Amino acid sequence: MGEWVARELIHRSNRPVVLASKHRICLSRFDVKSDLRSIPMKVVLFCGGLGLRLRDYAEHIPKPMVTIGYRPILWHVMKYFAHFGHRHFILCLGYRGDLIKQYFLNYNECLSNDFVLSNGGRQLELANSDIHDWTITFADTGLRANIGQRLKAVEKHLANEEMFLANYSDGLTDLDFSRYLDFARQRNKIATFLSVKPNLSYHFAKTDPHGLVTGIQEAKQSGIRINAGFFVLKRDIFKYIQPGDELVIEPFQRLIHDRELAAYEYDGFFEAMDTFKDKQQLDDLYEGGQPPWEVWRGIAGEPENVVLREIEQVAVKA
DSSP 215: E
pLDDT tens series, the chain, 318 aa: 444 444 433 333 334 444 443 333 333 444 444 444 458 999 999 998 766 556 555 567 888 999 999 899 999 999 999 999 999 999 999 999 999 999 999 887 777 677 788 877 777 777 677 788 999 999 999 988 999 999 999 999 999 999 999 999 999 999 999 999 999 999 999 999 999 998 766 777 888 888 888 888 776 677 789 999 999 999 999 999 999 999 999 999 999 999 999 999 999 999 999 888 899 999 999 999 999 999 998 644 444 443 333 333 333 333
Picking from 132, 113, 157, 225, the residue whose alpha carbon sits closest to that of residue 4 is: 157
Contact (CB, 8 A) for 31 and 138: no
Architecture field, domain 4-316: Alpha-Beta Complex (3.90)
Whole-number pLDDT of residue 60: 76
Quote the radius of gyration of the chain (alpha carbons, Å).
Answer: 21
Provide the pLDDT for residue 119. 79
Inter-residue contact 5 to 136 (CB < 8 Å) = yes
What is the pLDDT, as a whole number, of residue 109?
78
Which pLDDT does position 3 carry in this prediction? 44
**Which pLDDT value is given to residue 103?**
93
pLDDT score at 53: 58
Nearest one of 221, 274, 227 to 252, comparing CA atoms: 227
Q: What is the reported pLDDT for 34?
A: 43
Render 209-237 in DSSP notation, one character per residue. TTS-EEEEEEGGGS---EE---EEEEGGG
Helix (H) or strand (E) holding 244: none
CA gap 102, 64 in Å, rounded: 13
User: Is there a contact between 175 and 230 (Cβ–Cβ < 8 Å)?
Assistant: yes
Q: Say what the pLDDT of residue 38 is.
A: 56
Where in the chain are the domains? 4-316
